[in-house]
Amino acid sequence: MQDNLNALIEKYNVAAPRYTSYPTVPYWNNEGFSKSEWIQALKSRFDRNPEQGISVYIHLPFCESLCTYCGCNTRITRNHQVEQPYIKALLKEWEMYKATLGNQTLQIHEIHLGGGTPTFFAPEHLEQLIKGILEGNTISENHVFSFEAHPANTSKEHLQTLFDLGFRRLSLGIQDFDSEVQRVINRKQSVEDVERVVREARGIGYTSINFDLIYGLPLQSLESVANTVAVSLAMKPDRIAFYSYAHVPWLKKGQRHFTEKDLPVGSAKLELYKLGRRMMLDAGYADVGMDHFALPDDSLFLSAKNGALHRNFMGYTEQYTPLLIGLGVSSISDAWSAYAQNVKTVEEYYSLIERDELPVFRGHILTPSDGITRKYILELMCRDRVWLKDNSDSEIIKLRLQELIEDGLVDILGHEVRVTMKGKMFVRNICTAFDDYLHRQEQDSITRFSQAV
């Protein structure tokens, strides 16, 4: 059985999208996109049911130092004078979106602060930002407010300030506790830093704490990963995201600070994944979805169990919100029938905001076929099954799934496609069978996406 699993992991460890959207960003039809169409799609989605609520993602790009593994959009600086101008621009962008939606009272369902390093910002500036977002609006009864934090610079004041504003979820970027791994990726925080933040957050009243861990980093070994996972499990986070390191130095220059010779690859990397996964399952965590593990009483696990799990540009979320507005550089907004992404540099962002223009520079208007495939992939990633329409496209999908069926990763009964227990580890691969864009341009995928395992 174990030999068969090893063979499957090696076989399906190929480049594949993470499907936070469909179509995935590299395949957006940017030439057929315009801001006016985006605004029309946004208003149409909102007007359809204003009471469904809005999710807000806010990108805070600043970091004091560069983590060399990082694939995020960041701006490295130790000058904290950048905080106020950026918050001012964010709130002006928010006002533009509110005006687009008719300056109505909005129901805020989700807020997520991502980065960069949100805790780069002083607590009082984060308070100014969140109060500005909430002013004149209402908060959904089942709201979910969360933020990402660096354990080494997150203070008790950060935690208390955001808690008082309605935040109950905290995500700590840990990656690895090994001192040599931390040195080479330039990500320094001690076990004591993390223990302090967890202790303070629990004492204040946070109800969900997530740890981000990465396997496949330079200099990692079975021993170092085992220690990182063991130390993490001892702190009993409610969730653990166990991500594969995506080595794309042609896109992220910081990754050239180490060489491919430093990386565990092939079977060595797969052993790191299997070890960490086994340790988490043995400790009572459930495999919720791609790379995500949660305790049985955590809301993410309960959402998956109840069929309410959703996935968008913020990753897995507990409930479906049809409208996601992204604020800040590089943020992506989603109106279900259309996507829009903001410009990627702070300078461009400020320039457009000062001209009273939404800082959008590209996007995609979904075709009817895109919409059907998007639903299919969401169902697979969130509910492990999907019912196909009775048409020729579905027959093509079934043909693409044949090898996965033979390998025991998928079952098909009539028009129902169901991911098997063994197949849960390979859901990214399964979703590629539905992805027409990927099949049309398969040769490009190796430089566009990270490895599936």
Give strand ranges (E) for 201-354. 208-215, 239-244, 286-289, 292-294, 310-312, 315-317, 324-327, 332-334, 338-342
What contacts 223, CB < 8 A, 6 or more positions away? none
pLDDT value of residue 446: 45
For tokens 């130092």, what's the residue?
A: 65
Instruction: Name residue 311's beta-bridge partners.
Output: 316
Give the residue from 306, 305, 308, 301 showing the smallest Cα distance to 284: 301
Q: What DSSP character marks residue 312?
A: E
What residues contact residue 129 under an 8 Å CB cut-off, 6+ apart?
58, 87, 90, 91, 121
pLDDT of residue 437: 93
DSSP string for 10-78: HHH-SB----SSSS-GGG--GGG--HHHHHHHHHHHHHH-GGG-EEEEEEE-EESS--TT--S--EE-S
C-alpha span between 244 and 257 (Å, rounded): 19
CA dihedral 250, 377, 109, 366 (to 10 degrees): 80
Strand partners, 209: 170
How distant, in Å, are the alpha carbons of 240, 267, 283, 338, 385 from that of 279?
12, 18, 6, 40, 27
Please report the domains of the chain, with CATH numbers, ordered by start residue: 20-364 (3.80.30.20), 368-448 (1.10.10.920)
Backbone angles phi, psi at 49, to 5 degrees: -165, 80
pLDDT for 249: 57
Contact 260, 250 (CB under 8 A): no
- Spell out the residues 6+ positions from residue 158 whose beta carbon is closer than 8 angstroms to its own: 119, 123, 126, 149
Q: Which two tokens stand for residue 233?
A: 């499990």
Query: Which segments of the chain have a pLDDT < 70?
Result: 1-3, 247-259, 442-453
Give the DSSP H or E segment for 383: helix 368-383
Give the Cα separation of 43 and 38 in Å (integer): 9
- Report the SS3 class of residue 121: coil
Label the pairing between strands 138-149 and 107-115.
Answer: parallel
What per-residue confidence (pLDDT) applies to 390? Answer: 85
- Phi, psi angle pair for 332, to nearest 5°: -115, 135
The tens digit of pLDDT for each residue in 372-411 reads 999 999 999 999 999 999 888 899 999 999 999 999 999 9
Distance CA 124, CA 111 (A): 17
CA proximity to 51, closest of 98, 106, 130, 13: 106
Single pTM value for the model: 0.92
Please give the Cα distance from 427 to 311 (Å, whole number). Answer: 13
For 279-331, where are the E strands, in sequence order? Answer: 286-289, 292-294, 310-312, 315-317, 324-327
Question: Rg for the chain (alpha carbons), in Å?
Answer: 21
For residue 348, CA distances in Å to 85, 294, 345 come to 14, 39, 5
Torsion of CA 56, 117, 291, 419, to 10 degrees: 20
